[in-house]
Amino acid sequence: MNTVTSQDSRTAPVKATWICLAIAWLLFLIPIPGAGLFVGWPLNLVAFILAIVVMARGKTVGGLLPLLASIIVSPIVYFIGLAIFGAAAISGSGGYQDYVERAKAAQESASASAVEAPAGLDLKPLPLEITAAKLFADYEANEVAADDKYKGNQLAVSGTVAGISKDFTDEAYVEIRTPNDFASIHARGLDPSVAAGLSKGQQIAVVCVGGGLMLSSPILNECQVR
């Protein structure tokens, strides 16, 4: 009876040693941050100590095997677990990045659809608002710079009617007053009936296409009275 009890007391630490090692290795392989480092390695240390105890009790082989396993096998299992954790982290990051890129693309597509003009609707840029005095002053200061800014562009010019005349082709045009008494802005392309209804000194606003400078007078083409 005493012999059986003595054998059980000697074999019990061997089983406990292997149980600690098995749990430690399992924790090394589970991809949970800190599980192997803070739980697995302490259990591996316990297994190492138990292996020494087993050897001290005379079970040299029974203690030597788990002792070597805790020193050699445990680090290998730990690094395998690190590799598994790293692969899982990279895979998760890639999936998340893919999700972010898809969500961003969907948002951009929705924004583009929201601002897209309805079919058949012609969206034109608004004309540049400017006074006759400002237009004349810009051309007087620098004709090249003024052409770059105004020529060929839609302009909404406001000012005072200085006169209503016809050119050599019998086309009506309106002269808009400028700070220079000897030069005016010529607004061309007006409907003759509209031009006929205007009078000197009247405030006017016309939407035209800038036509550059001719004989010190800024020219406006394709004009319509607002």
Candidates 148, 147, 208; CA nearest to 174 is 208
* One domain, residues 105 and 135: no
The residue ranking higher by pLDDT, 20 or 8, is: 20
Structure confidence by residue, pLDDT tens digits, 121-148: 555 678 889 999 999 999 999 999 989 9
121 lies in some domain: no
* One domain, residues 13 and 108: yes
For 108-147, what is the HEC assignment?
HHHHHHHHCCCCCCCCCCCCEEEEHHHHHHHHHHCHHHHH
Q: Are 163 and 175 in contact (CB under 8 A)?
A: yes
* One domain, residues 103 and 148: no
122 lies in some domain: no
**pLDDT at residue 117 above 60?**
no
CATH code of the domain containing 164: 2.40.50.140
| pTM summary value | 0.44
Structure confidence by residue, pLDDT tens digits, 146-197: 899 999 999 999 999 988 888 888 888 899 998 888 888 999 888 888 888 8
Q: Which among 70, 91, 114 is the end of a domain? A: 114
- What is the domain range of residue 63? 2-114
* One domain, residues 160 and 194: yes
Q: Which among 83, 114, 145 is the end of a domain? A: 114
What mean pLDDT is reported for the chain? Answer: 82
* One domain, residues 47 and 20: yes
The residue ranking higher by pLDDT, 102 or 203, is: 203
What band does 206 get if pLDDT is binned at 50, 70 and 90? Answer: very high
Domain count, the chain: 2
* One domain, residues 46 and 134: no
* One domain, residues 94 and 12: yes
* One domain, residues 105 and 171: no
